Amino acid sequence: RSSLMLGSVLWLGGEFAFVVFNEADRVGLLERANHDRLVAVVGVSMALTPLLLLGMQRILNGPLRLHAPKSDRPFDTIDA
């Protein structure tokens, strides 16, 4: 469960991407159109991350369980 929640936030670009893209644009490594596209993609990913987290919580806590159901049956014992 925690690995799925962690994985759902790892794809987030983050604010650091804006710094990297602006620096690359400033020194001429990116064309302006590519810079604008990359900034838009990171902005959209940052906006969608909270929705993704809410969706993952609903999936993990809802009727669709990603782990085995607990059994009410007692454990087997071994008589020596």
This prediction has a pTM of 0.56
The string of pLDDT tens digits covering residues 36-74 is 999 999 888 888 888 887 887 788 776 655 556 667 778
pLDDT for the residue numbered 25: 92
Give CA–CA dist 46/11, Å, rounded.
9
% of the chain residues with pLDDT over 70: 74
Domain spans in the chain, listed from the N-terminal domain onward: 2-61
Q: In which element (H, E) is residue 43 found?
A: helix 32-61
75, 27 in Cβ contact below 8 A? no
Check if the beta carbon of residue 46 is closer than 8 Å to that of residue 39.
Answer: no
Unique residue bearing structure tokens 């993990």: 60
